[in-house]
Structure 1
Amino acid sequence: MCSGKCSRCIGVSLYPLVLISIICNIVLFFPGGDVKYAKDGHITQEVQYMGGLIGGGFMVLIPAIFFTLTAENGCCGIRFGMFLSIIFAATGVAGGVYSFIVSGLGVNYGPLCKDGGVWTTPFKNSNSTYLTDQKSWAVCTEPKNVVQFNIGLFFTLMAASSLQVLLCAIQMINGLIGCLFGACGNKEEA
């Protein structure tokens, strides 16, 4: 397979993952579908770090665009373009790792919720044991179902960022092959 075509395939595969990351991060700002929690500052710090928007979103979108453009006829045969794709892929890996770490912390610490009339993160020191103890989720009285909300979206971000890191790592190898041996395996295409 031509490494330029592989770049295009990876770039196109990253677009839905970027979209999922951005949407999940934006939705995390509105627990219970209400803007008042974001307006009043009652969201976790991990949401404010915007791992899905910055890391899994824009830091992966730019490499995805470049990978897609690398496959174009004017750029496919240029070894320098494949070299640049390695650098862009490293940026994508960094973005995916950032998104994964922030999401992991979001799952580990749990949501910010009202517990006994006080806004707190009741599961912060639970070492993630709250994930299997659904009865303990009842301590969060507001926003409604915020534990399920956070767990679902942060796990989705973790899955998307894992795939982003994997695809960008594959592109790093593909870019190295394209840089060393040319963008296409067939001499007539190069």
Structure 2
Amino acid sequence: MCSTGFVRSLGFALLPLAVCCIVANVLLFFPGGTTQYLQEGKLSRLVWFMMGIGGGGALMFLPAGVFISLGKCTGCCWNESVVMCGSVTAALVGLAGSGYCFVISAMAMLEGPQCDTGLGWSYPFANEGGRYLFEQETWSNCSYPVSIVEWNVTLLSILLGLSGLEFIICFLQVINGLVTAVCRPCCYKQDYTLNA
């Protein structure tokens, strides 16, 4: 059985996830759909780490491209093993990118947004360890940007979910590629000796 078809499907699954990560991260730069806070430099600091644009987005195009470009089975088990080893390397890059996106998004979620509390701009939820997520009545402490807590929580949750899926897909390919690269030649050799 040829495993390259499975790998290609993983690549096609990564593409929309990467695009959605980029879109979610770009939206974090425009709270409430306005450019005002970007121009004033009043965005949360972790937004500038570009976890969705770089880690969960652009970096994912490498493994997706490698997975999709895998050809059909050539009939030579050694060629397939070499190709699978290359796809494992690409999958490791994907693991790093999705892991980066997940960790930075989680840190941003725990820290909470920068906002105007009426006493000036600050991070009112920064030292709570994410407790504010379960105390929605405290969200009104942020006056401006309007609904900034909901904006950040929604987009960061999307980034966490998407990067988690990307991580799982890349991890599946690491396992698939290693099993194929290591065991496939042995299986072919055994089949050959049985057929002889």
The 5-angstrom pairing of residues 1-190 of structure 1 reads 1-72=1-72, 77-182=79-184
Q: How many angstroms does 1:180 deviate by?
A: 2.6
> Larger radius of gyration, structure 1 or 2?
2
Q: How many angstroms does 1:72 deviate by?
A: 4.8
| Structure 1 runs of 4+ with >3 Å offset | 71-74
Which residue identity does 2:85 align to in structure 1?
Answer: F
Q: How many angstroms does 1:98 deviate by?
A: 0.3
How many residues align? The count is 186
Q: Tell me, yes or no, if the aligned pair for 2:2 and 2:73 is still in contact at 8 Å.
A: no
* CA root-mean-square deviation: 2.1
Q: How many angstroms does 1:176 deviate by?
A: 1.3
Structure 2 residue matching 1:124: 3-state secondary structure: coil
Q: How many angstroms does 1:117 deviate by?
A: 4.5
Q: Distance in 2 between matches of 1:186 and 1:38?
A: 59
Distance 1:92 1:116, change over 3 A: same
Structure 1 residue matching 2:15: 3-state secondary structure: helix
Q: Distance in 1 between matches of 2:104 and 2:168?
A: 18
- Higher relative CO (CA 8 A, sep ≥ 6), structure 1 or 2? 1
Specify every segment of 5 or more residues in structure 1 that has no aligned partner in the other structure, as ranges: none
Q: Distance in 2 between matches of 1:72 and 1:25?
A: 35
Q: How many angstroms does 1:178 deviate by?
A: 2.7
Q: Deviations over 1:150-170 (max 9, x none)?
A: 000001100001110000000
Which residue identity does 1:44 align to in structure 2?
Answer: S
Q: Distance in 2 between matches of 1:186 and 1:40?
A: 63
* TM-score, structure 2 normalization: 0.88
Q: Distance in 2 between matches of 1:69 and 1:181?
A: 22
Q: Distance in 1 between matches of 2:184 and 2:155?
A: 41
Distance 1:55 1:145, change over 3 A: same
Q: Distance in 1 between matches of 2:139 and 2:147?
A: 8
Q: How many angstroms does 1:116 deviate by?
A: 1.1
* TM-score, structure 1 normalization: 0.91
Sequence identity percentage? 35
